[in-house]
């Protein structure tokens, strides 16, 4: 009896799949591409970030001020390239450590693509002494986004200038509707910032849409996509774009991935007859 018991225990261990730490990274397949969600940090962006915190949707979705979420970045591994989409907050964040869990190191990253130039998306590109973190990568940002921040009056322009100085000729720009590599197309989604960009990753018949900062509170903004946040540079435009993309993604059943959707930040939107949305997280 004891022998059988030991055997059962041993075989349970032998048969158990080797799991990656799925609280920090999560792997998906998009056709033949590997798509990996990587957590940078946990966040709680409460009601104060919403432009109309007294709205009905806020009452419905938030009993208190908790909006537990995360900042995510995404890795795209094609047959010959490793691409990182957004680079997290930098110092204090866990992106580099978690990228390692995904088998990605800064010096083997070929391309870093940026959705927009807020500090929680570009903070990880330069080290504390303004040194290059992704030493052999080309960094891509929308031409409109770079132009805007280099001319901005806010302190964010310093981050844009640092980035330009640090990456020099490795900093490249793209236009909307261009493909950065054949599998990744840039799609304009202005409003959050003037050059805010989404990326459509496709392989065969499969695709996923990285929506960047279209969403900061998935609970509230699915009930009412017209609610924008204090970080949106043009709240009206951000709301209009959010509504359109939500509708398209729900109707076409396109998988989406968001930087501020709770980790792993990947899933589907569905729409009810009243025009409200529901986010269905996806883990595979
Ligand atoms: Zn952000």
CA of 195 from ligand 1 middle (Å) equals: 13
SS3 assignment, position 99: helix
pLDDT at residue 21 in the model? 63
CA of 259 from ligand 1 middle (Å) equals: 7
CA distance linking residue 118 with residue 73, whole number of Å: 13
Q: Which residues of the chain have pLDDT under 70?
A: 1-21
**Residue located via tokens 């798509």:** 35
CA of 129 from ligand 1 middle (Å) equals: 23
Any domain includes 1: no
Any domain includes 28: yes
CA of 24 from ligand 1 middle (Å) equals: 18
**Residue located via tokens 């269905």:** 280
Any domain includes 221: yes
Any domain includes 63: yes
Any domain includes 144: yes
Q: Can you name the residues that pair with 272 across neighbouring β-strands?
A: none
Any domain includes 4: no
CA of 119 from ligand 1 middle (Å) equals: 8
pLDDT at residue 154 in the model? 75
**What's 44's domain CATH number?**
3.60.15.10
Give me the DSSP letters along 102-164: TT--GGG--EEE-S---HHHHGGGB-TTS-BSSTT-EEEEEHHHHHHHHT-SSTHHHHHHHHH
pLDDT at residue 159 in the model? 84
Any domain includes 12: no
CA of 214 from ligand 1 middle (Å) equals: 9
pTM for the structure as a whole: 0.92
Q: Model confidence over 21-53: pLDDT tens digits?
A: 679 999 999 999 999 999 999 999 999 999 999
CA of 122 from ligand 1 middle (Å) equals: 10
pLDDT at residue 22 in the model? 76
CA of 2 from ligand 1 middle (Å) equals: 56
pLDDT at residue 242 in the model? 98
CA neighbor of 212 nearest in space, from 234, 192, 184, 229: 192
CA distance linking residue 227 with residue 5, whole number of Å: 58
CA distance linking residue 220 with residue 277, whole number of Å: 10
Crossing angle (nearest 10°) for helices 143-150 and 156-167:
120
Domain of 75, in residue numbers: 20-281
**Tally of domains in the chain:** 1
Q: Model confidence over 170-199: pLDDT tens digits?
A: 999 999 999 999 999 999 999 999 999 999
Any domain includes 6: no
CA of 45 from ligand 1 middle (Å) equals: 11
Angle at 186 between CA 181 and CA 191, to 5 degrees: 160
Relative to beta strand 111-113, strand 138-142 is parallel
């Amino acid at each position: 009896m004891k022998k059988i018991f030991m055997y059962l225990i041993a075989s349970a261990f032998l048969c158990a799949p080797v799991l990656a730490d799925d609280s920090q990274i999560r792997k998906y397949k998009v056709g033949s591409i590997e798509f990996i969600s990587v957590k940078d940090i946990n966040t709680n962006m409460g009601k104060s970030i919403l432009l109309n915190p007294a709205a009905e949707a806020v009452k419905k979705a938030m009993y208190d001020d908790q909006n537990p979420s995360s900042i995510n970045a995404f890795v795209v591994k094609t047959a010959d390239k490793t691409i990182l989409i957004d680079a997290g907050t930098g110092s204090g964040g866990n992106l580099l450590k978690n990228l390692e869990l995904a088998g990605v190191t800064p010096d083997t990253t070929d391309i870093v693509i940026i959705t927009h130039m807020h500090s929680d998306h570009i903070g990880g590109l330069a080290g504390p002494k303004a040194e290059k973190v992704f030493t052999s990568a080309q960094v891509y940002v929308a031409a409109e986004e770079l132009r805007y921040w280099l001319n901005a009056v806010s302190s964010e322009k310093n981050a844009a200038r640092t980035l330009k100085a640090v990456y020099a000729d490795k900093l490249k720009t793209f236009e909307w509707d261009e493909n950065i590599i054949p599998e990744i197309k840039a799609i304009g989604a202005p409003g959050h910032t003037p050059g805010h960009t989404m990326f459509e990753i496709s392989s065969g018949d499969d695709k996923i849409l990285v929506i960047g900062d279209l969403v900061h509170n998935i609970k509230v903004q699915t009930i009412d996509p017209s609610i924008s946040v204090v970080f949106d540079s043009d709240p009206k435009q951000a709301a209009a774009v959010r509504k359109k993309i939500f509708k398209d993604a729900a109707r076409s059943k396109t998988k989406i991935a968001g930087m501020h959707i709770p980790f792993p930040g990947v899933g589907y939107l569905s729409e009810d007859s009243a025009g409200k949305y529901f986010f269905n997280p996806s883990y595979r």
